[in-house]
Amino acid sequence: MCLFRDPRGGIRLRRPERRVSRQPSHPGHEHALRRKLKYFFMSPCDKYHAKGRKPFKLALQLLKIIIVTVQLVLFGLSNQMVEAFKEENTDSFKHLFLRDYFTSLSLSLSVFLSVCQYLALPQKSVGRYAYVRGSALNDSALYLCQRYYRKGTINPVNDTFDIDPHVVIGGSSLSVFLSLLRLINVTIQFQLKAINIQTIINNEIPDCYTFSITVHADFTAH
Q: Which of 114-118, 151-155, 188-192 ranks highest by mean pLDDT?
A: 188-192
Within 8 A by CB and 6+ apart from 115, the residues are 142, 144, 174, 188
Asked if residues 128 and 194 have their Cβ atoms less than 8 Å apart, the reply is yes
- Distance CA(27)–CA(31), nearest Å, equals 6
Question: How far apart, in whole angstroms, are the C-alpha atoms of residue 211 and residue 127?
Answer: 13
According to DSSP, residue 24 is labeled: P
The Cα 64–Cα 58 span in angstroms is 10
- Grouping H, G, I as helix, E, B as strand and the rest as coil, residue 153 is strand
User: What digits encode the pLDDT tens for the residues 52-73?
Assistant: 777 777 788 889 999 999 988 8
Q: 122-175: per-residue pLDDT in tens?
A: 777 767 888 888 766 666 788 888 888 877 777 777 777 777 778 888 765 554
Ramachandran area for residue 177 (φ above 0: left; ψ -120 to 50: alpha; else beta):
beta
What stretches of the chain show up as alpha helix (H) in DSSP? 27-40, 44-51, 56-97, 104-119, 121-124
- What pLDDT sits at residue 64? 92
Residue 123 pLDDT: 78
pLDDT attached to residue 218:
77
Most confident range, picked from 11-15, 20-24, 180-184 = 180-184
Cα 208 to Cα 61, 89, 141, 199: the distances in Å are 38, 13, 19, 11
* Positive or negative: CA dihedral 169, 173, 176, 177: positive
Compute the average pLDDT of residues 176-204.
76
Q: What is the average pLDDT across 198-221?
A: 79
Using CA of residue 49, residue 53, residue 57, residue 58, what is the dihedral sign? positive
Q: Say yes or no to pLDDT of 15 above 80.
A: no
Could you tell me the residue ranges of all domains in the chain? 65-218
Q: Indicate if the pLDDT at residue 199 is higher than 90.
A: no
pLDDT band at 8 (very low <50, low <70, confident <90, very high): low
Q: Read off the pLDDT band of 95 (50, 70, 90).
A: confident
* Half-sphere CA count of 198, side-chain side, radius 13 A: 15
pLDDT in the model for residue 6: 56
Q: Write down the pTM of the prediction.
A: 0.51
Across the chain, what does the average pLDDT equal?
Answer: 74
pLDDT confidence of residue 141 = 82
